[in-house]
Each structure stands twice: as C-alpha cells, then as structure tokens.
Structure 1
Amino acid sequence: MTKILPVVFGFDIADYAFARIFHENSGLRSLVVSEIRRGPINDSSIFDIMMVPRGTLGHEDSFIALLHEIAAQHPDERLILCVNSDEGVEYAVKHRAELEGRWFLPYASEEAVKTANSKTSMAAILEALGLPTIPSVSVDLTDPQSWGEGLDRVRFPVVVKPEDGTLLNLYLHKGLKKVTPVNTREDALALFNKLRDNDVPIKLLVQELIPGDDTTQWVVNGYVDRSGQITAAGSGRVLLGLHVPSLIGNAGMILLDSNDHLIETGKRIVQAVGLTGFFSLDVKIDPRDGTEYWLDLNPRIGRGHYYLKVGGIDLAAAMLADMRGERIQYQTNTRDGIYTVIPMALASKRYLTDADLRAQVKIAKKNTVNPLAYSKDRNPRRHAYRALSYVNQYRQMKAFYPEPTASGF
C-alpha cells in the first residue's frame, strides 16, 4: 500500500489543526512547510517541519517549484496538498494538470475557485438562487474619478473588502485588510487615497454594514467529493470573533449548533458554484428582521475548520475517501460543544448578552476544545505557548473590543 503524506503549508492554528485531523483519523504524520516558526506549529510530535525562505509560498513560480521539489524528495508517497490560503489554492488548481500525477488536490476547478474568490461573481450567484444580497459597489483604486459616483450608491456605515480575496496577502503590508469598517463617505475617500498612495492598484467592494454583534454570525463548512456529492457539512454559531485588526473576520469561539436550514442553503450555494473539495462559508443574520446574508464562500478548509471535529465531523475521513474513490456516509453535526482559541471565560455576560444563548453555552462548554491542545501531542513548551496566548487574548479583547457593539466592530 502506498504511504500517504499530508503536506500542510503554513504556521497558523488552521495549519496545526489540518495536521491534527489526519493524525486523529489514522495516525498519519504530516509534513508542515513554513516560512517562519510560530507557536501553533512549534514543538509538535505529530508532524515534521520543512523550513523554506520567506516569500516562497506567496509567489506562484516558487510555490509550484517547491511542490515539484517535495514530490522528488518523496517518490514513493501519495502526497496531499493541504493549503488554506486563497492564493495557494489558486496557484495549485491553475497547475493541476502537472501536479496531479503526484499530488491529490482537494480543491475545485480553476474556474470555480475564481468564482468563489470573486465577491462580484458570488453576488450574482446569490441573486440567481433568490438569496438576499447586501447593497454594494465595486470601487477601482486606479480610477479616483469614479469613487464619488460609486459611494453615492451605498448608505453609510459600510465595510470595505478586497473584491478578489486572493490579493489580500499580496497587499497586507501596504494597509489592505480583510474587512475595514467605515462610518462616513469622507472616511471612505481617505481610505481609498491611503491605499492608492501605497500602490494598491486593485478593486474594492464597498458593502453596506449589516448590524449585529459577533453572535449574529454563523459558519458552514464541509467537503464535496470529485463526483459533486457533498459528503460532509455542518454549522456553528460564532460566539466571539477575533478583534485584532489583522484578524477581523475570523472566529475565536464557535458554538456547535446544527442549523439545518443554513446547512442546506450553504450546500445549494456550493453546488451552484461547482465547488469540490473543502469549503467554508460565512453568514450573518440581520437582527432587525432575521434576513440571512451570505458573506463569503472560501474554496478551502477555513481557519476555524476544527469546530466540525468538535461536532463529530471528520473532514479527513471525507477527503481520504474521496482520494481513494470510496463512498462514505454523509456526515453532519452529531455532538454539542465549543471550539475556541481564546479563553472560555470571555464567554461571559459582558459579551453574550442573550440569556438563552448563555444557557446553551453552559451546557455545551462541557465539551470545549482548543485545536492546539491535543492529548497525543503533549509538550511543556506547547502548554506554555497556549497559556501565554490566552493572556494575550485577554489583553487584545480589552484593547480592541472591550464591550460588544451593535456592529461587531
């Protein structure tokens, strides 16, 4: 039998969790490829680490060359490409034909990936499905004369995002963020000018702000096999997001809550786009009238994907069955619990203002899981890192989100 080697690219919590689900599934030892050493991947016994020069993973030519190099170093192993960046997925699917002889790519076609990563294309698909869309306009930073006309078509406050999610990391160091809340037209113009002055020549999506604190956000994640069959899908309710400016838009704590309606709607969206492999979706429920607004579809596993494992869904099993061409029983939420990368004590009356939600959390917290706390990967240094991380999370919440707000920002 050919040995299987999951190859995980990165150093974040999602990347450690990627390696963990394979180890939990069948004891598979991964190879983690990273440009820097960071706490989530340091001092682990469940994978090996390969260090590469900075800039290798963020550029198409060097990334693809690295994949060929790894394949040459492991001639007798079946390699699984495990990447959780928009640009990494796009690079891989663009070169699928030359990679598939050695690599299994649990990602969709190049066309479907580009559709999922385009906010404009996704808005058109949501409209075609009869789903509500948030009023928004596209603003071209290279055409300042058009900015005013575009802003006339939305009501403030708004949020500003890159229209193409794959460009975020490319311009992150120049001030571009995953999502930026903007209160006034003047503030929007100031932001556009700042980005343009920093040589950020892209299109931005300006979207009317839907109110609601972190608890109005939900996530739906899963897996689609190569035949188009959805073999895993589950949902969770965000309790608290991460509020450090560079991480806004990412969940810090998720309550496992099986929302059949959201799961089924999410599956419709995924199938309309034509995705295969991993997927993750974000949805916000407007507290004013209960309207569901689907914000993002990511053609990858997602940063907080381990919440599904807390709920009883094994994404590694779904992916491995697909790779082997085997049928697998559909998986969805079967267990209550809480996924968290921040201290559980933050799930307090201060942030969870709804008494019914707090009661639900009180029951679910008996099964609270931090993906970095793995009983088969014990190391005093890892324990110390988690403890220090929790201290930092307290400080960051106090600094950036001391009280819940009506907007979540």
Structure 2
Amino acid sequence: MTTPAARATPPFDLVMIGADIGVYALARAFHERYGVISTVVSRLATGPIANSKIIENVALGEGTTLDDTLRELLRIGQQRSQDVPALLMCNADGFVRFVVDHREELSQYYVIPFIDATLLDQLSDKGHFAELCAKLDIDTPTTVIQDFSGAAAPGWSASPIDLPFPVVAKAAASSEYEGMSFEGKKKIYFISDQAELDALWARLSAAGFAGRFVVQELIPGDDTWMRSITAYCDRRGEVTLLCSAQVLLEEHTPLALGNPAAMITTALPEAMEQAKRLLQEVGYVGFANFDVKVDPRDGTFRFLEVNPRIGRNNYYVTAAGANVAQFVVGDFIEDRPVEPVVVEREILYSILPQRLLLKYVTDPALKARVTALGKRGIAHPLENRIEGVRRRAYVVAAKLNQIKKFRTYYPEPTETGF
C-alpha cells in the first residue's frame, strides 16, 4: 500500500480517456502511489471503471464522437486551476492518435506524455515497424504489405502474397481500423489458404478500408510462446523502466484476440535490450509496449509490434513492484531523472479463474510453476481492496464470463493458439 511519504510530491491531476481494464489499472497505480483520484472521460461507465472510489467518471453517452470528447477535455481543462498540472493519458491506439493530432489545443491545459505525430506514424504502422527492426538487426516475422488506398478504383486487385500458408493478417495501423464495422471483423486473422485471404481482402474493400494490412508468416507455438515487454523512455533519452513477461493465455474473442489474459513476469535480458535499443534509436518518449514471440524453431525473439502506449495489461508491471506512475510523474511533473528499474520479481498476473487458466497451460513444468505462483497470490487489476461490494461482484461476474467466452471462441488449446 502507498505510504504517506510516497505521496509527498508536487500536486497534479490525472485525466484519462477510455473505459477499459487498462485505464482502471493506470488509475489504480496513480492512486496507490500518489493518492490521485483520476478523472476519466468515456462514452459509457463500463464495468472496469464503474462505481469506483478512485475514479470520477465523465460519461458522455452512447453515440458521442471524438469531437465531443475533445470539447469535454477542453471544458475540463478550462475549469481546472492552472496552478496544478494535469497529465492527459489514454490506453488505446485510436485515443493516442486523437491526442497527438490535437496536441496543440490540448497542451494549453494538459501535460501530454506521448510521441509526436511523425514518430507515431512510423511506429504504429506494423509494416514500418518491421522495416525499422530490420535496420536495427532485430528479428521479426517475414512481412508483406497490402495497400488498400486505391481499393475503391475500378479494376483494383490485391497484390500476390509470396508466403506459405497458413499466415497471420492484421491492420498495419490499429487506429485506422478500430472504428470500422463489418461482418466477420477480427483484430487478428488466421488465414489457412489463398481463398480465405481473397475473402478477407474482399470484405475489407467492400467496407471501405483504405489503409494497409500486413500479412506475416505464422511463427509456430501457442500463446505460451508470446512475450510482453513494457518500457518507459524519458525526455533525456534514458529508458527508466523495463519489465517483461511470459504470456500464458491470450483472449480469443474476435475483437480482443491477442490481448494477454494471464502472464508470469520474468526477466528477458536479450529481448529487453533490443527493445531499449529501438526506443533510443528513434528518440522515443513515454510508455511503450512490445508484443514479441519466441520462435520455437531456433529460440529467437521475433518482435511483432510496438504499441505507443503502456498497454491494456499494464498492471503486471505495478504488481511486480515497479509502480508505473512514478516514471511518468518523475519525468513530466517533477522534471527529474528517475533511477532506471529492470523488474526481476516473478508474479502471476491473471484476469481468469485459475482452473480455466490451468486447462490451457499444457506443458507440465509450466503448469506446476503457474500453480505454485498462484498459491502465493494472483495479481488482478480490478481486485482492489479499496473498492466496494458492487465492484467485487463485477469482478466475480467478469471472471465467470471468461469461462463462457473461452468455451465459445477457444474451447480447447491448440498448437498455434488459433
């Protein structure tokens, strides 16, 4: 728990956009470290943020737009005391793009700890990210780009893909894809053959998608071969936080596929060093979260993408002993160097019922490790003792709903995780 001494810091406010579990995890970190009550602007007061004692939610209502969000943020900024700085944070690619695009207006009232638009364009596009990794001798899956910018023109056709099937396909820039709606939409597509790929291209073209899609070789291995790396790089160019984890199981609903649902924090020096090198090479500032997969064929780390934000499951870092709030506050509010931290403590992070998780961890040695860690305690971002009965009831219901979701979308573990 936070001690009074830990809260002895210049006063500041925290304003966030969004309503998911990652936003609550950030609010929890700031409350535990600094006693801050976060203001959260969202369309609706969804379960992860509803009825919380550490959040003041401004719910704009169903059907509101980003323009409405901008107006509300400016209204809040105008009404605040300008004697106290306010951090503006978010945890979704679309919201990061929104904040960066409106930096000039928002920076009148808020401290904005995100990279600039040019670097965001480079890193948030998975195709450009792969090119940067190649330059820095960082391994990635073989990647092919399909550009849809001319898909509306008569006679347009997709380029041939020179990769063996099966392959994985996903939007190059998530922010260009998040707001789209069409039948069969998924976050990540497992493509078995050319006919499936042609059908996907047809759906995207018919839906009016005009961005880029990446098609990548399928790296073998189930979810347990995935790794997560969270980092913070300050304005002095120092990487002050590095934390890595082995994924145990990812979510498998169509629009959340690939989001870790359970992880064990474990130090991965080689992968963390590569992440650090990339961030310093491009002059990165702020939080970043890397998706990496270990290739079981040769043990190499294959970097899949970098998210220009802290990541939905950021609580695994705080729970392992490195409260994420202190890094951005030290950098942007206190304007001081923060002693670099490389997290080595091993903890089990999970939003799942333990029996459900153990069903999908098939390796006996790893299952025994998960069981032993579970007996020591499980870090769940929403299980916060400060919250009331309604919150606790929601967490129980959310865990039970995970059983239904896995039964529907991923009833049995597979060798590929698809």
Cα gap change, 1:362/1:103 in structure 2, threshold over 3 Å: closer, same or farther? same
Which of the residues 52, 76, 87 maps onto 1:44? 52
Name the CA distance, whole Å, in 1 between partners of 2:267 and 2:301. 16
**Aligned letter for 2:212?**
K
Moved more, 389-398 or 22-31: 389-398
Q: 1:55 Cα deviation (Å)?
A: 5.2
Residue 294 of structure 2 corresponds to which residue in structure 1? 285
* Superposed displacement of residue 220, structure 1: 0.2
Task: Among all aligned residue pairs of Structure 1 and Structure 2, give the percentage whose two residues are the same amino acid.
Answer: 32
Q: Structure 1 length as normaliser, TM-score? A: 0.93
Partner amino acid, structure 2, of 1:79: A
Q: Specify the alignment match of 2:319 in structure 1.
A: 310
Paired residues of 2:146 and 2:158 also in contact (CA < 8 A) = no
Contact 1:243–1:401 at 8 Å: present in 2 too? yes
Question: Quick check: 1:276 aligned with 2:282?
Answer: no
Q: Counterpart amino acid of 1:126?
A: C
Confirm or deny that 1:408 pairs with 2:414. Answer: no
1:239 aligns with 2:245: no
More displaced, 61-70 or 326-335? 61-70
Structure 2: 5+ residue runs without aligned partners? 1-8
How far apart in 1 are the matches of 2:197 and 2:231?
A: 35
Residue aligned with 1:40, SS: coil
Name the amino acid aligned to 1:337: I
Partner Cα distance (2:203, 2:108) in 1: 45
Structure 2 letter corresponding to 1:181: F
Q: How many residues align?
A: 404
- Match in the other structure for 2:114: 107
Partner of residue 67, structure 1: 73
* 2:216 partner SS: strand
Answer yes or no: is 1:260 the counterpart of 2:299: no
The equivalent of 1:337 in structure 2 is 347
In the alignment, which of 368, 371, 375 is matched to residue 378 of structure 2?
A: 368
RMSD, matched Cα: 1.9
Show the counterpart of 1:358.
367
Write the deviation string for residues 64-113 of structure 1: whole angstroms up to 9, x where unpaired: 33322110121343211111121221222233344334211111122221
Contact 2:238 2:280 in 1 (8 A): no
**2:91 counterpart of 1:84:** yes
8 A Cα contact 1:125 1:272, kept in partner: no
1:312 CA drift (Å): 1.0
CA shift, 1:355, in A, is 2.1
Q: Is the 8 A contact 1:107 1:277 kept in 2?
A: yes
Instruction: Describe the superposition over 1:158-206 as per-residue Cα deviations: whole angstroms up to 9, x where unpaired.
Output: 1111122211212145654321111110011011112222222322111
Counterpart residue type for residue 127 of structure 2? T
1:167-246 equivalent positions in 2, closer than 5 A: 167-172=176-181, 175-246=184-255
**Cα deviation digits, residues 221-245 of structure 1 (max 9, x gap):** 0211111111111000100100111
Matched, 1:33 2:41: yes
- The equivalent residue for 2:24 is 16
Distance (whole Å) between structure 2 residues aligned to residue 84 and residue 94 of structure 1: 15
SS in 2 for 1:171: coil
Residue 14 of structure 2 corresponds to 6
Tell me the amino acid that sits aligned with residue 302 of structure 2. Y
Cα displacement (A) at 1:250? 0.2
Assess if the C-alpha contact under 8 Å between 1:2 and 1:78 holds in 2.
no
Contact 1:214 1:238 in 2 (8 A): yes
Q: Residue type matched to 2:160 in 1?
A: G
2 CA distance for matches of 1:272 and 1:360?
Answer: 36
- Alpha-carbon spacing, 1:267–1:309, altered in 2? closer, same or farther (3 Å): same
- Other-structure match for 1:297: 306
- Contact 1:140–1:147, Cα closer than 8 Å, also in 2: no
1:160/1:182 contact within 8 Å kept: yes
**1:140 and 1:18 mapped to 2: Cα distance?**
35
**Which amino acid is the alignment partner of residue 179 of structure 1?**
I
Q: Counterparts of 2:266 and 2:285 in 1: how far apart (Å)?
A: 24
Distance 1:287 1:87 in 2: 33
Cα deviation, 1:316-340, whole Å, max 9, x if unaligned, reads: 0011100211122112214221111
> Compared with structure 1, are the counterparts of its residues 239 and 180 closer, same or farther at alpha carbon in structure 2 (3 Å cutoff)?
same
SS in 1 for 2:179: helix
CA distance in 2, matches of 1:172, 1:236: 32
359-368 or 121-130: which moved more? 359-368
The answer on 1:388 being equivalent to 2:405 is no
Distance across 1 between alignment mates of 2:157 and 2:299: 32
Q: Aligned residue for 1:321?
A: 330
2:41 partner amino acid:
V
Deviation digits for residues 283-305 of structure 1, max 9, x if unmatched?
Answer: 00111221221011011010011
Q: Return 5+ residue gaps in structure 1 as ranges.
A: none
Task: Give TM-score scaled by structure 2 length.
Answer: 0.92
Mapped partners of 1:169, 1:160: distance in 2: 15
Distance in structure 2 (CA, Å) of the matches to 1:52 and 1:175? 29
**Partners of 1:392 and 1:344 in 2: how far apart?**
13
Q: Give the 3-state SS of the residue equivalent to 1:360 in structure 2.
A: helix
Structure-2 residue corresponding to 1:118: 125
Deviation at 1:25, TM superposition (A): 0.4
